[in-house]
């Protein structure tokens, strides 16, 4: 038994260390998901970022040659616009955000930002230009201030506060005995999923990237939290080119364009109203989601009445 217990313990130790060490989602992607062969071209220049217009031109992609994931995807996100990507689980929504970050290279076609192929510029400059609000934020074992300031290490206290206010987490922080100096993470204060996400939003507000990727939470948050997060997200995506990876459909209603991904192609595209009127795939996903949400709300109400 001891022979098994020691290695298991060790694995647990390594796991915890890795988890902490990679608290930043971008670092996490960089270490775990980037195949070693993604390298900058010799002498590659930094991305000359202007207003942050994105184009996918006939993008083909697979992780595994016998399983195509994207089979020719074309779309454009004009600078400052918001595009939402929806579709069944496993359709390849998150994959699109990984290609934008160049965590993988496309198999065919190209991805450009302000006219520059992402393969032609340094990865560092690419990651500097893109902010990501992940669905599950892992915080550093440090203070709340540190966790927010991570978005821009030289930010002044006042800027950290302003970012927290915009992310609607400031008043919560003020209620803590140590305020911004409160320790969070595994060994500190445990924050709820919604609170952690707002810390991540504050961090991204501070980083102020021209391009933003929002990975919407898969799990249902309660209506109140969801509304708070939504208004924080609206703040951060204002005047920025935004790609929303919508695992649920709650944030897509106001997007300039919705792409419905299915079986590796864009099956439908348009605004919420246009797609509802069309009565196709999106319309049926929408009504199914509505029914599921209502059922959940009823369950919650019943539980609270008990
Ligand atoms: P969900 O809404 O469930 O998160 P998604 O649309 O975001 O799904 P992706 O994460 O883009 O889906 O995954 C698309 C497909 O690619 C899935 O079938 C998944 O199993 C596969 N896939 C994802 N990452 C990898 C990987 N690193 N290696 C091999 N296959 C992968």
ipTM: 0.96
Pocket test for ligand 1, best of 65, 91, 217 (most atoms within 8 A of CB): 91
The residue whose C-alpha atom lies closest to atom 17 belonging to ligand 1 is: 90
Distance from residue 94's CA to the centre of ligand 1 (Å)? 7
Q: Which residues of 127-163 are buried (b: 16+ CB within 10 A; e: fewer)?
A: bebbbbbbbebbbbebbbbbbbbbbbeebeeebbbbb
The residue whose C-alpha atom lies closest to atom 2 belonging to ligand 1 is: 89
Q: Which atom of ligand 1 is nearest to the CA of 89?
A: 3
The residue whose C-alpha atom lies closest to atom 9 belonging to ligand 1 is: 92
> Tell me: the pLDDT tens digits for 190-229?
888 888 888 998 999 899 899 999 887 655 566 677 777 7
**Residue 303: its pLDDT value, please?**
86
Q: How confident is the model over 101-105, as a mean pLDDT?
A: 93
> Tell me: the pLDDT tens digits for 61-79?
999 999 999 999 999 999 9
Pocket of ligand 1 (CB under 6 A): 63-64, 69, 87, 89-95, 247
Q: Which atom of ligand 1 is nearest to the CA of 98?
A: 11
Q: Which atom of ligand 1 is nearest to the CA of 261?
A: 6
Q: How confident is the model over 28-44, as a mean pLDDT?
A: 68
**Residue 30: its pLDDT value, please?**
46
pTM: 0.81
Q: Which atom of ligand 1 is nearest to the CA of 64?
A: 29
**Residue 3: its pLDDT value, please?**
56
Distance from residue 90's CA to the centre of ligand 1 (Å)? 5
Contact 84, 246 (CB under 8 A): yes
């Amino acid at each position: 038994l001891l022979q098994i217990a020691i290695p298991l313990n060790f694995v647990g130790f390594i796991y915890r260390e890795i988890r902490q060490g990679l608290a930043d989602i971008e670092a996490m992607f960089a270490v775990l998901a980037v195949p070693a062969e993604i390298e900058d071209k010799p002498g590659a220049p930094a991305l000359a970022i202007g207003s942050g217009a994105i184009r996918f031109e006939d993008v083909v992609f697979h992780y595994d040659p016998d399983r195509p994931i994207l089979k020719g995807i074309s779309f454009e996100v004009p600078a400052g616009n918001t595009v939402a990507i929806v579709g069944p689980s496993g359709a390849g929504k998150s994959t699109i955000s990984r290609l934008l970050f160049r965590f993988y290279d496309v198999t065919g076609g190209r991805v450009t930002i302000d006219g520059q192929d992402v393969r032609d510029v340094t990865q560092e400059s690419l990651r500097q230009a893109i902010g990501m609000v992940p669905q599950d934020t892992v915080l550093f074992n440090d203070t709340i201030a540190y966790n927010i300031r991570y978005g821009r290490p030289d930010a002044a206290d006042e800027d950290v506060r302003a970012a927290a206010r915009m992310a609607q987490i400031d008043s919560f922080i003020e209620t803590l005995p140590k305020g911004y100096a409160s320790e969070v993470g595994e060994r500190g204060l445990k924050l709820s999923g919604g609170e952690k996400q707002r810390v991540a939003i504050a961090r991204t507000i501070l980083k102020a990237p021209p391009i933003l990727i929002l990975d919407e939470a898969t799990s249902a948050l309660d209506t109140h939290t969801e509304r708070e997060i939504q208004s924080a997200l609206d703040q951060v995506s204002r005047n920025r080119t935004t790609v929303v990876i919508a695992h649920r459909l709650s944030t897509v209603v106001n997007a300039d364009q919705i792409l419905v991904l299915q079986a590796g192609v864009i099956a439908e595209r348009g605004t919420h109203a246009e797609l509802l009127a069309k009565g196709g795939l999106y319309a049926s996903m929408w009504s199914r989601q509505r029914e599921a949400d209502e059922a959940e709300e009823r369950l919650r109400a019943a539980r609270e009445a008990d």
